[in-house]
Amino acid sequence: MNLDFKIKNLLLICLIFLGVFNQYYSQSQDKADFKTGADQPEVYLPLLQEKTVGVVTNQTGLMSDRTHIVDFLVKNGIKIKSIFAPEHGFRGDADAGEKVKNGVDIKTGIPIVSLYANNKKPKPEQLKGIDVVVFDIQDVGVRFYTYISTLTYLMEAGAENNVEVMVLDRPNPHDGYTDGPVLKKKWESFVGMHEVPVVYGLTIGEYGKMVNGEKWLKNKVQAKYTLIPMKNYHKTQRYPILDKPSPNLPNDKSINLYPSLCFFEGTQVSVGRGTELPFQIYGSPWTKGLPYQFTPKPTSGAKDPFLNGKLCYGENLSDYDTDLRELNLEWVIKAYKNYQNPELDFFLKAAAGKNLWFDTLAGNDELRKQIIAGKSISEIKSFWKQDLDQFEKIRTKYIVYEN
């Protein structure tokens, strides 16, 4: 009897091992066979033949062999009329909020039209003669990162001018989970156009489907929207980023910490712009109780960084190796508690009549009030739950990929 029991246990262990191995092997195989939308030209090139094309892209529009999507399309005889550049520019070297100029791509001679500053939405004359606009940008899956806003304006202009929008999908490094406060309409802006949480758990291609399907475009118009999905993509896996999405998100670590640290942009605390560790450190001259020290100085990605030349005290999170699957409020609360400056409020003042920048990023004024009131992280997060549950009902309608 005892021997039978041991044999059964041994068989059970073997079966469990084989199950885990097969699951791991299957996921490894999927990862090896993974392809972005851009790496499946056999799908989209036939759809672009004999058409006049616009391309919205930047330095991240790369194929697996590091060929840029614009160069690839030109090489394959696709007629490109214009390149549209988002925030940070076509080559991705402009600082956040910096004006991006129109110009000409030196390599191809194709005109570049900026979709930033005063021209966030393509004008009818800029789309004249174009049949389809291809959108290929590496996003980071966070509401206040502006590439989803650029896609929204493009879709709106496409719907109004009978121009198709084709999205070549790419991985979301914060996919497979949702977290943070859901934006309230009063706080709509270019860093938050829709009533979604800070982390919304959709690829940029899925996000476009949601915007279209929920009729969130102006006057409830709907774009002719074509998604070129990825192959063998899983929402809870993480994939390498081929190029930094913007100057101050140089690597996977900064991207991982970005949703949690970006709230500091609305405070008197630096997130390390003007250092070698942007979005991996935080600090201020007025948080002297914190252990790490750094001094922001001008760099190519931050020509006049916040707190330029001032010694800051904070924390270095560059060794933080946890793959965050939730917003971490610990750091902003800790900085608030350590902040000592009677002359300057922790939260940055905004222009008269405008929302505080922190509230604009949060999508409401409740998070700021909760931090001031000393609410715990669990109390704050429980406050988000109902809105997150409501958003989840919308989100699930547009999921293309398995976990």
Residue 20 has pLDDT above 50, yes or no: no
Residue 331 has pLDDT above 80, yes or no: yes
Residue 351 has pLDDT above 90, yes or no: no
CB-CB contact of 182 with 197 (8 Å): yes
CB-CB contact of 100 with 83 (8 Å): no
211 vs 117, higher pLDDT: 211
pLDDT at 27: 46
40 vs 117, higher pLDDT: 40
In the numeric block, which tokens belong to residue 389? Answer: 């549950």
pLDDT at 26: 41
CB-CB contact of 364 with 183 (8 Å): yes
- Which region holds residue 374: left if phi is over 0, alpha if psi is between -120 and 50, else beta? left
Residue 6 has pLDDT above 70, yes or no: no
Backbone phi, psi, residue 15, to 5°: -65, -40
Q: What is the DSSP string of 347-388?
A: BPP-STTSPPHHHHHHTSSHHHHHHHTT--HHHHHHHHHHHH
pLDDT at 86: 86
What angle (nearest 5°) sits at the alpha carbon of residue 237, between those of residues 234 and 242?
100
- The pLDDT tens digits for 59-90 are 999 999 999 999 999 999 999 999 999 876 67
Sign of the CA dihedral 333, 339, 342, 343? negative
pLDDT at 353: 58
Residue 15 has pLDDT above 70, yes or no: no
- Stretch (H or E) spanning 327: none
State the average pLDDT over residues 154-178.
Answer: 98
Min mean pLDDT across 105-119, 319-333, 354-368 is at: 105-119
Sign of the CA dihedral 362, 368, 371, 375? negative
Residue 14 has pLDDT above 70, yes or no: no
CB-CB contact of 74 with 80 (8 Å): yes
pLDDT at 18: 47
Give Cα separations from 286 to 197, 208, 337, 371 (angstroms): 30, 42, 11, 18
What's the CA dihedral at 104, 110, 111, 112 to 10 degrees? -80
The set of residues, in sequence order, having a beta carbon less than 8 Å from that of 331 and lying 6+ positions away, is: 260, 261, 264, 282, 315, 317
pTM: 0.89
Intra-chain end-to-end CA distance of the chain, in Å? 42
CB-CB contact of 184 with 365 (8 Å): no
The set of residues, in sequence order, having a beta carbon less than 8 Å from that of 4 and lying 6+ positions away, is: none
Q: Which domains are present in the chain? A: 41-241 (3.40.50.12170), 252-372 (no CATH)
- The pLDDT tens digits for 216-246 are 999 999 999 999 999 999 999 999 899 999 9
Closest CA relative to residue 138, chosen from 80, 57, 208, 209? 57
In the numeric block, which tokens belong to residue 250? Answer: 């140089």
Sign of the CA dihedral 235, 236, 239, 241? positive
Strand 164-168 relative to strand 225-228, pairing: parallel
What percent of the chain is predicted at pLDDT more than 70?
88
pLDDT at 322: 84
pLDDT at 347: 96
What angle (nearest 5°) sits at the alpha carbon of residue 375, between those of residues 370 and 379?
100
pLDDT at 10: 56
Residue type, 49: Q
- The pLDDT tens digits for 283-312 are 999 999 999 999 999 998 899 999 999 999
In the numeric block, which tokens belong to residue 296? Answer: 């922001």
The set of residues, in sequence order, having a beta carbon less than 8 Å from that of 54 and lying 6+ positions away, is: 80, 81, 82, 83, 84, 122, 127, 130, 132, 133, 134, 163
The number of angstroms, rounded, from the C-alpha of 53 to the middle of its chain's C-alpha atoms is: 25
The set of residues, in sequence order, having a beta carbon less than 8 Å from that of 219 and lying 6+ positions away, is: none
State the average pLDDT over residues 10-37.
Answer: 58
Give Cα separations from 227 to 200, 218, 324 (angstroms): 19, 21, 28
HSE, CB side, 13 Å, CA atoms: give it for residue 139: 32
Closest CA relative to residue 270, chosen from 236, 232, 234, 299? 299
Residue type, 124: P
The set of residues, in sequence order, having a beta carbon less than 8 Å from that of 288 and lying 6+ positions away, is: 313, 338, 340
State the average pLDDT over residues 101-119.
Answer: 85
